Structures are given as C-alpha cells and as structure tokens.
C-alpha cells in the first residue's frame, strides 16, 4: 500500500514539473554550437552552471571536440563550490585551467585576459532580484568584452521567482551607483531571466556589446522554480532551497538592518529566521502575534530563539520569528516587506536601524513610508506608477 501511495505522489509531483531545456543544453544544438567551434573561449560560470544531470558547463565544453577552453571567470561565491568569503585566483583541479575571480578588486576580465580569447560564454543562475550581484558581474563583463571587441554568449536559465510579478520600488537614481547591488534603476523584483537582463542592460546602459542569448525551450513566464523539472543547485551558500529565494525576495533587506537572518555554518535557516539579541521574550511574542494578525497570504510566523554560529550577532542569543511559506506562488514580496517592517518599527522602535536598509529597499520615499506606517497598498500603487517607463523598456528585452 505504501509503495502505491509513493508512486502516486511521484506521479502527481512529476505531472506538475514542466520539462524545460536550458540555454546550456541548447548550446550543443547545431544552431548554437557553430558559434563556439574553433574558438578560444573564456567561461564565466559558478557552482550552479549545470545541466539536468548535474554536469558542469565547463566539463561539457572541455569534452567537446573543436572547443578551445582557455580560462574560467568566477563571480561572487566562487566557481565549483559556494563560499561566503572572497575567492582568490586559482587553478581548476579538473581541467587545469586558470580561474580568475571577478569578485573583489577585479570586477571584470582584463584586456590582457580577453586578448587571449575569441569569445566569452556566460552561464549563471540568477535569483531575479535587484540586489543580487550576478547581473552586475555580467554587465561589467559585457563592457569589458565590448572594449576588447569580442562577442559574448549568455546561456539562459529560469528566474526562480518567475517572469510575471514585478514588485518593489525602482532603485532611486541617487542610489543607482553602478555597484554590485546598486547597478541601475530597476525594481527589486524585475521579472526577467539573466538572458533578458543582458539584453536589457546592453541596450539601456548603451553597452552595445556583440551579444547572443541562447534561450531556454518550454519555459513560461508564469513558472516559478518549483514549476520546472530543473533540480535546485544553490548559487549562494545562503540559498540552499528555492523557498529561501522567496523569503530573501521579501525580507532580504532586513539583513542590512540590525538583524540576524539565519546565516550560519550550515545556512539551513538563512532568510527563514529573523531576530536580534536586543529583542526581549515579551517583544518576541508580541511581534509574532502582530505578524500573524496581518494574515499575509501564504505566510505563517512562529516565535524562535537561537544563537547564530556565524555572521551577525555570532555567539549571542537572539529572539525573533520564523517565516514559513504555505503558497510560494502567492507571496507578494513588497507587501510583505512593508507590512513586516512596519510591525518591526511598531514593536522595536529605532533599534532596527531602517536607515541602513535604504539601498536594499531602494528609495527614500519608501523608507519614509515604512517609518510613517503608510498603507502598504498605497505604497504599492505608487511603486507601480513609477514602473511604467521600465515596463516599456523591459518589453523589448523579453524572450518568452
């Protein structure tokens, strides 16, 4: 009987997992493989640059006749593994190729490196948020490739948050400094794949690089990660599961405030739990009661106490809340951020240091609105009003 139930569960699960073909997998098709044969190639990739079977892009290309792999570029968190510390230049133990870090003093391939190449191939798993660093690393690489007059191929992958919802505020012009998390004025949750972002930034920032995007097959804008048959491979040590991407989208900004966010030696609870040593037991219980009273769609909140074993407040007992997800598809990340932040201000006052969250939230007016306890729906309407020009520009970059 148990085996029958298990088989039924497996059938139901697989019936809702839509089969997609990644850009990486399509690179071997004749239409695209002709672009890399006989070329000296540099690859910008990381731990998650893998196909459905778990094979890494570099290993696929290294085994492909007629392809000349010359070097590897690594973004934040490294190349074959995921780490929170800076990754120095190294040698790939499997291929023997040099690995050049693009996270640290060097943000893009140098002219000397690119002069040894005919082509750069980029395969990065993004998470669909403005403050994630991979789109900036892609843009820096596009600019460097343009100066070196060599083409770039971006292999597209799913946006784990889907391609329909556009949420949060446009990054204020004064905050759009071109940095890794403040690259340009886009919404927090932009609803584009990395390939679409490459097209968007290549035009919007007037980079004009020789860019080709290898699109996926069968991916649809309404798909979040769990709608696909793609196994989750973490692109960050703090995003071990797809649901952590959802909570990161909603409350990731709190990490810039005076909060521990579950980062630790294992990161199983990263961006699922939030708290601080200054929160009292009474405040913790009041906080959870007020959060649950919000009745946020698809979310539950429970009280928690823990001692971080790494990162902020390491070794200090913290009290706070755990955020649980009931329905990922229905999570409104901006509504959640505003309402939860307003409850935090009401319960904890100035201790949470909202000002330090400014660049993550994205604008002075939204920060002030949270401090003044403005209605979340009114703030959402204002944010959507600011997006009209962005949505028009975005439409030209969409592939699906």
| pLDDT for 81 | 86
Compute CA distances 382 → 250, 265, 359, whole Å: 18, 40, 18
Q: Is the pTM of this model over 0.85?
A: yes
Class of domain 2-235: alpha beta
CATH ID of 242-386, from 1.20.140.10, 3.90.1150.140, 2.60.320.10, 3.40.50.2000: 3.90.1150.140
Q: Let me know: does 77 contact 237? Beta carbons within 8 Å.
A: yes
Residue range(s) in the chain whose domain bears CATH number 3.40.50.12170: 2-235
Q: Let me know: does 116 contact 40? Beta carbons within 8 Å.
A: yes
| pLDDT for 3 | 39
Q: What is the pLDDT along the chain (400 residues), one digit of tens a residue?
A: 433 333 433 334 444 689 999 999 999 999 999 999 999 999 999 999 999 999 999 999 999 999 999 999 999 999 998 888 888 999 999 999 999 999 999 999 999 999 999 999 999 999 999 999 999 999 999 999 999 999 999 999 999 999 999 999 999 999 999 999 999 999 999 999 999 999 999 999 999 999 999 999 999 999 999 999 999 999 999 999 999 999 999 999 999 999 999 999 999 999 999 999 999 999 999 999 999 999 998 899 999 999 999 999 999 999 999 999 987 677 899 999 999 999 999 999 989 999 999 999 999 999 999 999 999 999 999 999 999 999 999 999 999 9
Q: Let me know: does 96 contact 128? Beta carbons within 8 Å.
A: no
Residue range(s) in the chain whose domain bears CATH number 3.90.1150.140: 242-386
Question: How far is Cα 65 from Cα 92, in angstroms, rounded to an integer?
Answer: 20
Dihedral, 197, 203, 205, 210 alpha carbons, nearest 10: 90
Chain CA centroid to CA 147, Å? 27
């Amino acid at each position: 009987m148990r085996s029958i139930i298990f088989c039924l569960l497996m059938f139901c699960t697989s019936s809702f997992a839509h089969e997609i073909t990644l850009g990486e997998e399509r690179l071997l098709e004749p239409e695209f493989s002709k672009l890399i044969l006989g070329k000296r190639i540099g690859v910008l990739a990381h731990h998650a640059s893998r196909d459905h079977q778990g094979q890494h892009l570099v290993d696929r290309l290294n085994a492909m006749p007629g392809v000349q792999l010359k070097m590897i570029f690594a973004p934040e968190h490294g190349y074959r593994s995921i780490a929170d510390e800076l990754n120095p230049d190294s040698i790939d133990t499997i291929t023997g190729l040099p690995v050049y870090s693009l996270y640290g003093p060097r943000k893009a391939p140098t002219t000397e490196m690119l002069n040894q190449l005919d082509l750069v191939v980029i395969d990065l798993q993004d998470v669909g948020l403005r403050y994630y660093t991979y789109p900036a690393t892609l843009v820096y690489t596009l600019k460097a490739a343009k100066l070196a007059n060599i083409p770039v191929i971006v292999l597209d992958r799913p946006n784990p948050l889907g391609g329909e919802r556009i949420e949060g505020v446009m990054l204020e012009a004064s905050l759009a400094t071109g940095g890794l998390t403040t690259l340009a004025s886009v919404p927090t949750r932009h609803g584009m794949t990395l390939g679409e972002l490459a097209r968007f930034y290549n035009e919007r920032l007037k980079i004009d690089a020789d860019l080709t995007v290898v699109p996926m097959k069968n991916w649809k804008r309404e798909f979040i990660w769990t709608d696909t048959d793609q196994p989750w491979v973490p692109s960050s040590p703090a995003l071990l599961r797809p649901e952590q991407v959802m909570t990161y989208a909603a409350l990731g900004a709190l990490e810039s405030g005076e909060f521990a966010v579950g980062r630790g030696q294992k990161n199983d609870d990263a961006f699922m739990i939030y708290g601080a040593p200054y929160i009292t037991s009474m405040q913790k219980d009041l906080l959870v009661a007020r959060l649950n009273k919000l009745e946020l769609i698809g979310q539950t909140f429970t009280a928690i106490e823990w001692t971080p074993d790494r990162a902020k407040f390491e070794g200090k007992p913290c009290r706070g809340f755990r955020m649980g997800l009931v329905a990922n598809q229905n999570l409104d990340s901006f509504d959640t951020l505003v309402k939860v932040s307003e409850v935090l201000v009401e319960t904890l006052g100035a201790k949470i240091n909202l000002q330090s969250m400014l660049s993550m939230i994205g604008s002075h007016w939204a920060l002030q609105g949270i401090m003044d306890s403005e209605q979340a729906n009114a703030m959402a309407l204002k944010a959507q009003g600011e997006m009209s020009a962005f949505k028009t520009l975005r439409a030209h970059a969409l592939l699906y």
